[in-house]
């Protein structure tokens, strides 16, 4: 996106790794150390607002902030570089289509139908 529109404000907020259902609970594969690496790669890719979504803890966010403090962005990472440093984008081939967190972004309901986006109540 930033290659096509360098002045665009891009927001990057990833899950803390790939979610897995283990013993009745969702666990995320991303470590705190990976959060800092992710933040720097997101900045290298042109993101200007960087944070986290599902599975991130205060420690993950702190690691991102520390990794970005006084950081000078480098070259844009390739998909292969991102996967080699952070791991695969999904657990299995054919799984995916968005993330499945409770706020509904990109998630699918039963039998693959698209679920509508939830709105916050005010």
DSSP per-residue string spanning 2-67: TTT-TT---EEEE-SS-EEEETTEEEE---HHHHHHHHHHHHHTT-SEEEE-TT--HHHHHHHHHH
Q: Residue 119 pLDDT > 80, yes or no?
A: no
Scan for tokens 């292969």, then name that residue: 80
Answer with the residue of higher pLDDT: 86 or 45: 45
What band does 110 get if pLDDT is binned at 50, 70 and 90?
very low
User: What is the structure's pLDDT at 90?
Assistant: 66
Answer with the residue of higher pLDDT: 72 or 19: 72
Lowest mean pLDDT among 21-25, 52-56, 76-80, 91-95: 91-95
Q: What is the mean pLDDT of residues 88-108?
A: 50
């Amino acid at each position: 996106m930033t290659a096509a529109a360098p002045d665009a404000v891009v927001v990057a907020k990833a899950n803390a790794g790939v979610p897995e259902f283990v013993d009745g609970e969702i666990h995320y594969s991303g470590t705190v150390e990976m959060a800092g690496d992710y933040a720097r790669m997101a900045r290298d890719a042109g993101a200007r607002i960087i944070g986290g979504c599902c599975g991130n803890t205060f420690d993950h966010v702190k690691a991102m902030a520390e990794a970005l403090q006084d950081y000078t962005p480098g070259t844009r990472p390739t998909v292969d570089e991102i996967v080699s440093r952070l791991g695969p984008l999904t657990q299995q081939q054919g799984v995916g289509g968005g993330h499945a967190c409770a706020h509904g972004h990109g998630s699918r309901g039963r039998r693959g139908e698209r679920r509508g986006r939830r709105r916050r109540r005010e």
